[in-house]
Amino acid sequence: MNGEGLNGTLTNISEAGQVFVFSSFDEAGIKRTAEAYAKHLSTDASLDGSKYLHDLAYTLVQKRSMFPWKGFAVASSLQGLLKALPDVVRTAKHARKSNVPKLGFVFTGQGAQWHAMGRELLVYPVFRKSLEAASNYLDRLNSPWHLIGKSFP
């Protein structure tokens, strides 16, 4: 189906164009990346096709690290992308994450890393609150066992 689908959503993305996101540690890196892609795309004739462009757009967003500097190009064809690549530098913006979460994982493997490790982690408010929230949720589901009880006072 081409054109507009339900609720006005596009059903043929290739006609509207795809977003190609480039990222780098610095603004000059965006230019270097765009130039490298322009060189690669203009010298390899086997790259033509909407599947390649779709895969490239997906890879740039989902499989590449996102660094502080980001630029983009919108294109629906290989020639359109080649024409848009010089403007990637103009679209580049520095985007600093203002609230970087601190994340910790506890892997128990075949058992706790040491006796009562979970109890010792309860001194950290975030860990305690997440266990309490999980315990409350399990209680609402009428779980026959309790996450917090004798083991976790």
**Residues 127, 82 within the same domain:** no
| CA pair distance 71, 85, nearest whole angstrom | 10
**Residues 14, 88 within the same domain:** yes
pLDDT at 120: 81
Whether the model clears a pTM of 0.85, i.e. scores above it, the answer is: no
Instruction: Read off the pLDDT of residues 107-148 as tens digits, 9 standing for 90 and up.
Output: 666 555 677 777 788 888 998 898 889 888 888 888 887 777
Residue 67 lies in a domain: yes
Of 94, 114, 129, the domain-final residue: 94
Instruction: Provide CB contacts within 8 A for 74, sequence distance 6+.
Output: 17, 18, 19, 20, 84
Domains identified in the chain, total number: 2
Is the pLDDT at 45 greater than 70? The verdict is no
pLDDT at 97: 66
**Residues 52, 17 within the same domain:** yes
Q: What value does the mean pLDDT of the chain take? A: 79
Of 43, 69, 94, the domain-final residue: 94
pLDDT band at 24; cut points 50, 70, 90:
very high
**Residues 50, 88 within the same domain:** yes
**Residues 84, 17 within the same domain:** yes
Residue 1 lies in a domain: no
**Residues 78, 17 within the same domain:** yes
**Residues 106, 68 within the same domain:** no
Residue 33, CB-side half-sphere exposure with 13 Å CA sphere? 23
Q: Is pLDDT larger for residue 56 or for residue 95? A: 56
Of 94, 111, 138, the domain-final residue: 94
pLDDT band at 82; cut points 50, 70, 90:
very high
| CA pair distance 54, 82, nearest whole angstrom | 15
Residue 3 lies in a domain: no
pLDDT at 148: 76
Residue 24: give the domain boundaries: 9-94
**Residues 17, 49 within the same domain:** yes
The residue whose two tokens read 């959503």 is 9
